Structures are given as C-alpha cells and as structure tokens.
C-alpha cells in the first residue's frame, strides 16, 4: 500500500463505486443534523421573511397580499432611505477608521510586539471584541453624556467650547455612534494586521530600504499588498457590523434624535414588533440582506490571491 | 317529621336562593389559592409597587411578579408582550388605541358592573373608554383603569424663586414670561426640561396650548374623532410661544440628550427654576426637596380665563390573554376604594386617588407640594379643563410624531408651523394604517 | 527583530511603538474605568464624568448583584451555552467531515448553501423566528434562544471544520479505511482527536457569540432570567437605566465573567479570534 499503487485514491478520495451507495447514505447522515437545524432555523425563516415581505400583516390578524408594494415603500420613503444612508455612513467609522488606523499602527509597531508587554497589549486591545456590544453601548453612552468623561477631557485640553450632549446632538450623534463601533473593532483590526504584517517577508522591507524607499513607499508597496488578505477580512467583518448594526444603536441612542441615527436593523425590529407592520419590516430585511451580499461579494472577489 | 322536613325544605330553599343571589352578585375576587400577578410597570414610578406591597400585606395569597421598563421601551414592547403567551395581568399603558384594535386588552365592562364603578364620576372614566374599532376614544367600552388622576403644571424651586423676587404664582402667561426673563438675567436656568429619548417639551407645549385655547378640540384630536386636527390657530400661537422660549435660551442647551431621570436629578439638585411635569412627582419632591418645591397650574393667556391642563389617569390595563384577570381587576378596584391604598396613592403618587366621590381624600401635610397639586386638581375640575396627554393620541405619535420635530425645534432646525404640520401629517398617516 | 535597524532606530522606534500601544490600551480601558468610578458614586445620583468618589459606595455592587439576580442569570447563561456550544460544534464537525472527506454527490451545492449564511444579518430572520417559536410554544424559554442559535451557527461551524478537514492528508482516511473502520469509527477515533485545536477555537468563538447574543433574547424571551447575560443587560438597562451608579455596577458585574475567562485563556481566545476572522 504505497503511493504508487493507489494514485487514483490520492487524488480523488471518494469511496469506490461498489460502496458508493452505502457511502453516500452515511455521508449524508453526517451532514444531516447540521442541515436540519440550518433549514429549520435559517433557510425556512429566510423564505418566510420573503413571503411576509409581500403582505400587509400586523402579526395577529388577517394577511393581505400586496405584491411588491412594500419594496416600493422601502425604496421611496425618506425615513427608510435615511436608515440605509445611515448604515453606509457608519461604514465610514466602523471600517475606514479601524482599518486605516490599524494599518498605520501595524506599520509602526510591526517589530515591537514581543514579550510580556506585547502580550498584555494584545490582551487588553482584544477586550472590546469579547464584551457584548450592549455593554460597549452602555459604557460609551455614559462617557458621551453631557457630564461624561469625553466632555471632561475636552475641557481639560481647552476645547471646552466643544462640549455637548453628544448622543443627543443632531450633527454629532451618528459620528458618536460610529466612534463606539470604531472602538469595538479597532483592537481586532489592529491585531489582525499586526499579525499579518509579521508574516510579510522582512527581506522585502530590506530590499525597499536598499532601493531608497521612504517609509510611505514601503507602506504602499510592501505593507499594503502583503496585507491584502487581512485587510479584506477586516473590511468584510466591519462592513457587515456596520450594515447590520443593532445592539449599539439600540442602547446608545435608540435611533434618535429625530431619527438621525436610525439604522435598518433597528427599524426592522421597530416596524415588526412595535408598529406591527410585519410586511414592511420583512421587505426592509430582505433589502438589507441583498445590500450586505452586494457589498461583500466585491470585497471577497478583490481579496482573492492573484494566481502566481 | 313533616314540619321538620318542610322547615328543612324551607331552609334549603332559602339557602339556595341566597346562594344563587350570592353567585349572581358576587364580584370577582382573588380567591384563597396562591396567585402571582404578572405585572409590567414603568421605571421610576414607585406607586404601583408600593400599592402591590400593601395589597400582598392585606391578601397574603397574592404576590406580584413585577417587571419594569422605561417609558419608551414600554410603548415599544407592549404590543409584543400582550400578544405573547405570558401576557401581563397588569400593564402600564401609555396608549390603548392600537392595542384595542388588535384585541390585546381585556374589555373591562363586566368588571364595571360587578364592582359598581358606575359610582365613580363618569368624567373620571371617560378617557379610559374606547370604541372597539380603536377610535374614537372617550366613548364605548372600558379598556383601562387609572390608579389615580394626575395633572400637570409647573413645579418651581422656592429658593431660586425667592432669588428673583417671585412672591406668588403667576396669574397670566405674561407674568410667567416676565419671571422667565428675570431668571435668565440672574443666571438661573429658567426651565429644566428633558427632551430625550422622547420629547419632554410636549409638557410645556400642551400647557401653553391649554393657556391659549379651549381644551375641547385638543381632546377631540387625542380621542381620534373624525376630522380632528392639531394644527389650529390657537395651537400655532402656543407652539410659537414655545419657540420663543427656546430661542431665548430658557431650556437646557443639552435638552436633546437629557432623559427624564437625569432631568429630575438636575431639578432636585437645585438646577432650574421651573419644571413642567406631573403631580406623580409630588411625593418624590416632598421627600427630596422638602419644603423647597412649589407648584402652580399653568396660567391662562388672558387674565381670569379658565385653566386647562393635561389631567389624565396613569392608565393600567389587563391583558386579553391574562391568566389572572379577575384578581387584577379586584386589585384595581381595591386601589380606588381601600382606605390604606388611597393613603399610599396620595402620599407616594401625589395625586387624587379617584374612586367614588363619597370616599374622603386622605389628608396631606399643609404646605407640601402634594397639597398644592391636590388643590390645583380641584380648580381644574371646577374649570372643566382636563385634557388627555397629546402624546397619547396614538400608540406611536409620541415617538414618531411629536419627538422628532420637537427635538428639531430645540436644535433650531425647524419652526413652529412646521412642527404642527409634521405632527398632523404623521397622525393622519398612522390613522390610515 | 529587524536586523538591519541601527541601535538608535530600534530604541526610538521601540519607544514610539510602546507609546502608541499604551495610548491604545488607555483608550480601550477608559470606558471601563469611567464605569467603575461611576459605579462607586451614591446610588441615584449623576456623577460628573471621571471622578473618584469621596465616599466609595461598594454596596452598589451588592445591590446590583441582587437586583439583577446575577446568580440565577449566570446559571441561565451557562445552561444556554452548555446546550448550544457542544451541539453546534458537534454538528459542524460532523458536517464538515462529511463535506470535506466523504463528499457525496450534491454536497458542493449544500456547502454553498451554508456559505451563503455566513453574511446573513440576524435581523433578516428574527421576525419569522419569533412566529416559529410562538408556534412551537417555546417563546420565553431558553430553547427559544438555544435552537435558533444552533441553526445560525451552522454556516460558520461547517466552514471552519471543513477548512480543517480539507487540510488533513488523505492518507489518514485511507489508512483507517484499510484497517476496516467504517466512516463513523474513522470520524471518532481518528479525525476528531486530530481536530482538537480547531474544535477548541470553534468552541471558544461560539461560546463568546452565545454569551454576547442580544437581539435574539430581546425578541424571543421576555423573562430576563431566561436570557443570556447580554440580553439581561438590556433588561437591566431598561429597569435601572435612570440610576447611573447602579447601572454601571450591574454592567460591570455582568461583564466580569466574560472578561475573567478571557484573561485566563487569553492566548487561546486571541488565536481563535484571529483565525476566525481570517478564515471568515
């Protein structure tokens, strides 16, 4: 039983024809429980959402078929369009900030993360990823209050004119929510990028230095391409977090003031369970799902390693 | 033998008749078996919990499983909670119209008869009635009960009032304006009001509406009578007056991020001369600002005119699917009629306990805020100026109708006319659903 | 260490790097520090920002513990995790093995179906899940959280374990087959022991996601004591949100178990989180 005697099995590890029938059954038995739960609690619900999106229903009484009317509402009603716009604005904070800052930090500290100091740093920077988002929302609500730490710090550095109730301010509530998300995701992105950058062949950096490249050139030509995979992951995770955000907004602003921080996730919840407009909520949910896929697919495609 | 048996038959007959009549006229009770009343109350209002404690003292077999939530969550969660399997026996209901349409609330007409609530003044129960189709309110079956009958007006800080030389309550709107100006000039926060997450500015606004106009059109709008509108000339004047106050800087700069609890904390802590709020805070203020808090009814625009103010019961209902509906109804009746309960109602709730008019109103400490609010309640009743809360017109009018434009008004991004138009538009949209 | 850097560069670079890291760590910890100082203020007051109170009210933590019924809450969350994580890991490993090693016809399609679920926002399915749980009579019970979570975790579990199994050389399966083992025995005696690191990472990730799950308990379970810790925190905020010191004390207590476990097992956690993100 050596390599030479069974080349076909090596390349094609399937049961032989004669045993295929029984093998197939066993194989499906392995897959069955997962498939069962997935179907029952994900696939069927998705199709139910799609079905509800075609109705006018208050969750208790009769259902009325409405065709694509709900989708029309989602795409034309200003309040709902605002929520989608807000979700994309959050992407700026949830994605661009952590990735951008993370890249900069990774470049600077790439060789200095060893030892107990590095371990401590890693542990602490990861804590935001470990706590529930609700807790982050509560903690930051407190910090952003009129008499909270952020205003204290601003006054301390002489920017007292800027103090305000951040989460109640029409202009700054959404950025404030964005900052909370950035805080949650920064540690993850930084660590990902730092770990990734450690995998970049140091000789590339040496070669760049020998060519007289500046720090910036190094960054653009060596670091960023080398981190393609990790950047892709950061962007994917953060974009999904931004578009599907619920926990933080629910706890920090509840969508206010005046709806400037309202996001699709929160609106779906409200429409379905507080306003009893299940059809419209479902339509918004389907639209959200399509949006997420539409954003993630290009990122995944861009992230593929070019075949060498 | 014959006589005895005849007597026996007579006794049995008499007993059965009395038994029959006993069952025919016996109101529901909580029985003798252990009962747990599933209750959903509002955070920050200790009254129902205190009443529950007293009830358990008097009826040890009944205990309460109390869950509390903030006003905004209560509004949001009540449809779902009432439709679920664990429907509350007692639930605080800011607004009932949507819930009645969906059949989520128990019709209380039966209890009305059983407990003899027809002895209560009819005007007390008017706001609790609603047509089965969900509108209009003010007529039809009884779907909720109040624990007491609150009113709103203006609380003031006596120390700060003395600082600006305020010796008596203002009798006209102009006098109130003058006091506000004096406070601002003296560096005192004129009005301490919250505007997040729901617009607390609805309180001063409605008080101004009452100062300018007749409460009837406003009540019609709240009760969803056909053709009613909030966008009336008198209301526009009131909203413009509010805008004037905002522009003059009488409200806290961070009102849009100030919530109810934080705001009360500020007022009790001594910031703010005036606070537009309801007498459910009287007990709290008597305790925490003993002797330093006063109250007056919103003065009318024209001297000597009638007063109008929001006066509504803090309403509680029984879930349609509640498991202990009878016991819950018995509790509601007990609150209005039991002597101990009425005392707690006044002391903790600060409001008129309602109920049959022949029952005495428990005594209050002279000079207390509670005394002031109870007296004001009598004045208001005399002027027939009770209005329901404009935020209760529909289930979502507060969150979706009043709050966004009022928050924008505080932020200086809209004007008075636009506020009323926005609210009326949202009102009509919701009614059309 | 960069061999070509001069001593000066290293120390300056090291200093700058450490400085930045310290700043980041401070920024990360600041919210917790503020919550801690607020938790020690007298109950019911509104402490101004970061300020060590003159009279620390340690009792607030006790009050919060009792108010939140933290002991029962802990038990509830542990129970939920005890159901979700083993089931999800087991089913994911089995399916991952089936898809990677046994690969029956049509399994490619099934795998794609699972992968589609990787980007699914929870809000898309929360509405039907509510009615489904209502129909099953499970609303307000722990199983309203447990069952859907297992289903929702399937895409990631399978993705993760399949990725592991695909990298296991075929010879191992062949050797087992030749020894006469059927696939089930192969699975348990050979593959699973090999997969331990992957399984451990997966379990850690799913423990975190279960523990921190918020929207699902919020909608499907009314009773705070039947929820996860994160879900109960939402209810705690609703009930006590106007009492800042109590809210902060309660939040910190609710966060404590997660953070303690994290610090104890930080190496495994960090590795798991990093790998999880990269493979996801």
CB hemisphere CA count around A301 (13 angstroms): 6
State residue A2's pLDDT score.
40
Q: Is C45 on the interface with B (CB under 8 A)?
A: yes
Shared domain for C48 and C169, answered yes or no, is no
Task: Tell me the chain C residues in contact with residue B85 when contact means C-beta distances shorter than 8 Å.
Answer: 134, 137, 139-140
Identify whether residues C161 and C45 lie together within a single domain.
Answer: no
Distance CA B379, CA B367 (A): 17
Phi, psi (rounded to 5 degrees) for A10: -60, -45
B208 contacts: CB under 8 Å, gap ≥ 6: B173, B238, B239, B241, B242, B298
Enter the pTM of the model: 0.81
Taking each helix axis from N to C end, the angle separating B47-58 and B339-349, rounded to the nearest 10 degrees, works out to 160
Mean pLDDT throughout B59-77? Answer: 86
Residue C233 and residue C109 share a domain: yes
pLDDT at B22 over 80: no
- Chains touching chain A at 3 or more Cβ pairs under 8 angstroms? B, C
Q: What is the pLDDT of residue C208?
A: 87
- The neighbour count for residue B421, using CB atoms within 10 Å, is 15
| C-interface mutation test, from A45, A106, A262, A268, most C Cβ less than 10 A away | A45
Q: Looking at beta carbons, which pairs linking B127-134 to residues 24 or more positions away fall under 8 Å?
A: B127/B312, B127/B313, B127/B315, B127/B388, B128/B96, B128/B313, B128/B315, B130/B96, B130/B97, B130/B100, B132/B100, B133/B101, B134/B97, B134/B98, B134/B100, B134/B101, B134/B224
- C144 shares a domain with C197: yes
DSSP letters for B82-127? HHSTT--SEEE-S--HHHHHTT-B---HHHHHHHTGGGS-HHHHHT
Whether B252 shows a pLDDT value over 80: the answer reads yes
Q: Is residue C233 part of a domain?
A: yes
Chain A hits for B253, CB-CB cut-off 8 Å, are: 164
Lowest mean pLDDT among B13-17, B189-193, B314-318: B13-17
Structure tokens at C85: 């994580």
C2 in a structural domain: no
- Residue pLDDT, tens place only, A176-191: 999 999 999 988 888 8
Q: Is residue C162 domain-shared with residue C59, that is, in the same domain?
A: no
Q: What's the CA angle centered on B421, arms B416 and B424, to 5 degrees?
A: 130
Q: Give the pLDDT confidence score for residue A3 in this predicted structure.
A: 40
Q: What is the mean pLDDT of residues C253-271?
A: 82
Closest CA to B39 of B416, B254, B319: B319
pLDDT value at position A61?
73
Residue spans of alpha helices (H) in B316-402: 325-337, 339-349, 369-383
Q: What is the pLDDT of residue C49?
A: 66
Residue C279 pLDDT: 60
Q: What is the pLDDT of residues C133-184, one digit of tens each?
A: 988 988 888 999 999 999 999 999 998 888 888 878 878 777 777 777 777 8
Number of domains in chain C: 2
d(CA A240, CA B7): 86
Could C20 and A246 be called an inter-chain contact, meaning their C-beta atoms sit closer than 8 Å? Answer: no
Mean pLDDT in chain B?
A: 86
Task: Tokens for C165, please give them.
Answer: 């199994």
Q: How far away is chain B from the Cα of A164, in angstroms, using its nearest Cα?
A: 6
Indicate if the pLDDT at residue C4 is higher than 50.
Answer: no
Q: Are the beta carbons of C242 and B260 separated by less than 8 Å?
A: yes
| Rounded CA separation B115/B128 (Å) | 16
C1 lies in some domain: no
Pair C55, C91 in one domain: no
Q: Distance (Å, rounded) from C-alpha B221 to C-alpha B366?
A: 38
B195 vs C44 pLDDT, higher one: B195
Q: Do residues C96 and C155 both lie within one domain?
A: yes
CA distance B291 to B162: 13
Q: Which residues of B touch A (CB under 8 A)?
A: 72, 75-77, 79-80, 83, 98, 102-104, 195-197, 253-258, 262, 395-396, 403-405, 407-408, 411, 413, 433
Minimal C-alpha gap between A64 and chain B (Å): 13
Residue ranges of alpha helices (H) inside A39-146 are: 44-52, 69-76, 78-91, 97-109, 115-130, 133-143
Alpha carbon distance C215, C236 (integer Å): 15
Specify the length of chain B in residues: 433
Q: Where does the pLDDT of residue B62 fall: very low under 50, low under 70, confident under 90, or very high at 90 and above? A: very high
* C38 and C14 co-located in one domain: yes
pLDDT tens-digit series, residues A90-145 = 999 999 999 988 888 877 776 666 677 777 888 888 889 889 898 899 889 888 88
Least-confidence region, from A162-176, A191-205, B160-174 = A191-205
| CATH number of this structure's domain B35-149+313-349, picked from the four choices 1.10.10.10, 3.40.190.10, 2.40.280.10, 3.40.50.2020 | 3.40.190.10
**pLDDT at residue C5 in the model:** 46
Q: What is the pLDDT of residue B17?
A: 45
Cis peptide preceding B266, ω within 30 of 0? no
Distance, CA of C93 to chain centre: 18
The domain over range A74-303 is classified in CATH as 3.90.1150.10: no
Q: B38: which strand partners? A: B65
Q: What is the mean pLDDT of residues B6-26?
A: 46
Q: Number of CB pairs < 8 Å for A and B?
A: 79
Q: How many CA atoms lie within 13 A of B54 on its CB side?
A: 19
| Average pLDDT rounded to a whole number, residues A272-297 | 91
* Alpha-carbon radius of gyration of chain C: 24
Domain shared by C132 and C242, yes or no = yes
- Kindly identify which residue of chain B lies nearest to residue C131, measuring between CA atoms: B84
Q: Identify which has the larger pLDDT, B3 or B154.
A: B154
Domain boundaries, chain A: 74-303
- Please state, in angstroms and as integers, the Cα–Cα distance from residue A167 to each residue in A140, B190, B249, C90, following that order: 10, 24, 20, 43
Which three-class secondary structure state does DSSP give residue B287? helix
Angle at B107 between CA B104 and CA B113, to 5 degrees: 165
Q: Give whole-number Cα distances, C242 to A302, B47, B265, C247, in Å.
A: 47, 17, 10, 8
B35-149+313-349 and B151-312+369-431 in the same fold: yes
Q: Which of A21-25, A189-193, A262-266, B194-198 has the highest mean pLDDT?
A: A262-266
pLDDT surpasses 80 at B72: no
Q: Chain A partners of B271 at a C-beta cutoff of 8 Å? A: none
Task: Out of C43, C63, C83, pick the residue that ends a domain.
Answer: C63
CATH number for the domain harbouring residue C82: 1.10.3720.10
Residue B134: the pLDDT is 75
Which positions in chain C touch B76 (Cβ < 8 Å)? none
Provide the 3-class DSSP secondary structure of residue B246: helix
Q: What is the pLDDT of residue B154?
A: 94
* Domain ranges across chain B: 35-149+313-349, 151-312+369-431
Shortest CA distance from B78: residue in chain C: C222
Give A287's contacts in chain C (Cβ within 8 Å). Answer: none
Tell whether C43 is covered by a domain: yes
Closest CA to C41 of C276, C273, C243: C243
C22 with C97, same domain: the answer is no
Phi, psi of B130 (to 5 degrees): -155, 145
Bigger pLDDT: B21 vs C191: C191
Are residues B112 and B122 in contact, defined by beta-carbon separation less than 8 angstroms? no
In the CATH scheme, what architecture does the domain B151-312+369-431 have?
3-Layer(aba) Sandwich (3.40)
CA distances from A280 to A59, B399, C277 (A): 12, 18, 33
Which site among C21, C118, C256, C262 would you substitute to test the A interface, given the most A Cβ atoms closer than 10 Å to its Cβ?
C21
pLDDT score of B6: 47
Are C264 and C206 found together in one domain? yes
pLDDT at C199 over 80: yes
Per-residue confidence (pLDDT) for residue C2, from 0 to 100: 45
B84 CB neighbours in chain C (<8 A) are 134, 139-140, 222
Contact criterion met (CB below 8 Å) for A291 and A84: yes
Close Cβ partners of A43 (under 8 Å, ≥ 6 residues apart): C113
Q: What digits encode the pLDDT tens for the residues A245-272?
A: 999 998 888 887 778 899 999 999 988 8
Token pair, residue C138, equals 């499970």
Decide: B144 and B94 in contact? Cβ < 8 Å. Answer: no
Instruction: Note the pLDDT of residue C149.
Output: 95
Residue B64: what are its φ and ψ, rounded to 5°? -120, 135
Highest-confidence range of A171-185, A222-236, C232-246, by mean pLDDT?
A171-185
For C114, residues 6+ apart whose C-beta sits below 8 A from its C-beta are A34, A38, C95, C154, C155, C158, C159
Chain B positions touching A58 (Cβ under 8 A) are 102
Domain end: C63, C94, C110, which one?
A: C63
Residue C54 sits in which domain range? 7-63
- The pLDDT tens digits of the residues spanning B229-249 come to 999 999 999 999 999 999 999
Query: Would you state the pLDDT for residue B320?
Result: 92
Let me know: does A234 contact A213? Beta carbons within 8 Å. no
Distance (Å) from the alpha carbon of C207 to chain B's nearest alpha carbon = 28
Report the complex ipTM.
Answer: 0.85
Q: How confident is the model at residue C86 (pLDDT cuts 50, 70, 90)?
A: very high
pLDDT at position C278, please?
Answer: 64
Closest-CA residue to B98 (of B69, B127, B70, B75): B75
Pair B410, B253: CB distance under 8 Å: no
In angstroms, the CA B166 to CA B177 distance is 12
pLDDT digits (tens, 9 = 90+) for B312-332: 888 899 999 999 999 999 999
């Amino acid at each position: 039983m050596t390599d030479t005697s069974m080349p076909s099995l090596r390349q094609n590890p399937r049961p032989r024809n004669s045993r295929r029938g029984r093998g197939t059954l066993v194989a499906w038995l392995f897959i069955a429980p997962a498939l069962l739960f997935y179907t029952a609690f994900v696939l069927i619900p998705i199709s139910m959402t799609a079905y509800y999106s075609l109705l006018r229903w208050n969750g208790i009484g009769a259902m009325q078929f409405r065709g694509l009317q709900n989708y029309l509402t989602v795409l034309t009603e200003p309040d709902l369009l605002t929520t989608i716009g807000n979700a994309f604005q959050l992407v700026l904070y949830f994605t661009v900030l952590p990735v951008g800052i993370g890249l900069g930090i990774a470049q600077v500290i790439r060789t200095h993360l060893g030892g107990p100091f590095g371990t401590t740093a890693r542990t602490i920077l990861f804590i935001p990823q470990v706590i529930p988002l609700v807790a982050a929302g509560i903690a930051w609500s407190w910090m952003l209050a009129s008499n909270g730490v952020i205003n204290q710090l601003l006054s301390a550095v002489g920017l007292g004119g800027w103090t305000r109730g951040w989460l109640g301010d029409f202009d700054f509530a959404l950025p404030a929510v964005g900052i909370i998300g950035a805080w949650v995701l920064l540690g993850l992105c930084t660590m990902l990028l730092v770990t990734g950058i450690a995998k970049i062949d140091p000789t590339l950096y040496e070669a760049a230095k020998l060519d007289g490249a500046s720090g910036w050139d190094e960054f653009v030509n060596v670091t960023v391409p080398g981190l393609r995979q990790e950047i892709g992951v950061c962007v994917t995770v953060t974009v999904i977090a931004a578009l599907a955000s619920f926990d933080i907004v629910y706890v920090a602003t509840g969508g206010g003031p005046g709806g400037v921080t309202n996001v699709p996730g929160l609106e779906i919840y409200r429409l379905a369970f507080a306003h009893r407009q299940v059809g419209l909520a479902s339509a918004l949910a389907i639209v959200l799902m399509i949006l997420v896929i539409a954003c993630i697919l290009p990122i995944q495609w861009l992230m593929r390693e070019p075949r060498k | 033998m014959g006589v005895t048996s005849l007597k026996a038959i007579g006794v049995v007959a008499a007993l059965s008749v009395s038994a029959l009549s006993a069952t025919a006229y016996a109101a529901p009770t909580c029985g003798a078996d252990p009962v747990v009343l599933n209750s959903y109350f509002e955070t920050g209002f200790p009254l129902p919990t205190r009443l529950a404690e007293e009830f358990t003292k008097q009826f040890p077999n009944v205990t309460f499983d109390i869950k509390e939530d903030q006003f905004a969550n209560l509004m949001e969660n009540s449809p779902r909670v009432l439709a679920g399997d664990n429907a509350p026996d007692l639930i605080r209901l800011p607004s009932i119209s949507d819930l009645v349409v969906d059949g989520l609330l128990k019709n209380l007409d039966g209890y009305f008869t059983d407990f003899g609530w027809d002895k209560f003044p009819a005007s007390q129960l008017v706001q609790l009635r609603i047509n089965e189709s969900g509108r209009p309110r003010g007529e039809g079956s009884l779907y909720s009960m109040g624990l007491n009958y609150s009113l709103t007006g203006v609380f003031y800080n006596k120390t700060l009032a003395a600082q600006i030389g305020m010796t008596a309550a203002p009798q006209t709107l102009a006098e109130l304006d003058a006091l506000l100006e004096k406070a601002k000039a003296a560096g005192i926060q004129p009005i301490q009001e919250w505007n997040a997450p729901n617009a607390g500015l609805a309180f001063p606004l409605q008080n101004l509406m009452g100062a300018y106009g007749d409460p009837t059109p406003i009540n019609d709008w709240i009760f969803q009578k056909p053709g009613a509108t909030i966008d009336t000339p008198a209301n526009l004047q009131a909203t413009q007056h509010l805008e004037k106050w905002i522009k003059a800087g009488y409200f806290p700069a961070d009102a849009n991020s100030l919530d109810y609890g934080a705001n009360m904390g500020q007022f009790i802590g001594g910031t703010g001369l005036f606070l537009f709020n309801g007498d459910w805070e009287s007990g709290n203020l008597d305790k925490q600002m003993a002797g330093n808090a006063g109250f007056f009814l919103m003065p009318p625009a024209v001297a000597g005119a009638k007063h109008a103010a929001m006066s509504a019961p803090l309403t509680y209902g029984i879930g349609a699917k509640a498991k202990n509906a009878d016991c819950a109804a018995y509790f509601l009746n007990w609150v209005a009629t039991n002597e101990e309960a009425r005392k707690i109602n006044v002391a903790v709730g600060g409001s008129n306990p309602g109920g049959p008019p022949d029952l005495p109103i428990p005594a209050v400490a002279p000079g207390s805020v509670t005394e002031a609010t109870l007296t004001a309640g009598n004045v208001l009743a005399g002027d027939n100026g009770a209005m329901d809360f404009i935020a209760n017109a529909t289930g979502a009018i507060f969150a979706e109708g009043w709050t966004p434009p009022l928050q924008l008004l505080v932020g200086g991004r809209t004007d008075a006319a636009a506020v009323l138009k926005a609210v009326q538009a949202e009102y009509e949209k919701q009614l059309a659903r | 260490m960069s061999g070509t850097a001069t001593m000066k560069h290293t120390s300056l670079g090291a200093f700058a790097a450490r400085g930045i890291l310290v700043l980041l760590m401070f920024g990360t910890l600041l919210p917790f520090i503020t919550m801690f100082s607020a938790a020690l203020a007298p109950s019911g007051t509104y402490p101004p920002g970061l300020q060590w109170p003159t009279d620390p009210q340690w009792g607030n933590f006790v009050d919060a513990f009792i108010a939140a019924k933290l002991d029962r809450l802990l038990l509830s969350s542990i129970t939920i995790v005890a159901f979700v994580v083993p089931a999800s890991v087991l089913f994911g490993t089995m399916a991952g093995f089936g898809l990677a090693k046994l690969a029956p016809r049509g399994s490619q399609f099934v795998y794609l179906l699972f992968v589609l679920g990787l980007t699914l926002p929870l809000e898309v399915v929360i509405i039907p899940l509510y009615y489904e749980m209502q129909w099953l009579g499970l609303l307000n019970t722990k199983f309203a959280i447990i069952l859907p979570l297992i289903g929702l975790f399937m895409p990631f579990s399978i993705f993760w374990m399949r990725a592991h199994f695909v990298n296991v050389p075929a010879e191992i399966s062949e050797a087992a087959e030749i020894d006469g083992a059927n696939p089930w025995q192969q699975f348990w005696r050979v593959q699973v022991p090999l997969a331990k690191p992957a399984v451990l990472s997966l379990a850690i990730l799913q423990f975190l996601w279960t523990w921190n799950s918020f929207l699902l308990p919020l909608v499907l379970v009314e009773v705070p004591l039947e929820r996860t810790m994160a879900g109960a925190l939402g209810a705690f905020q609703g009930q006590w949100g106007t009492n800042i010191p109590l809210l902060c004390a309660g939040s910190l207590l609710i966060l404590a178990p997660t953070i303690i476990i994290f610090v104890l097992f930080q190496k495994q956690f960090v590795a798991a989180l990093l790998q999880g993100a990269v493979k996801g």
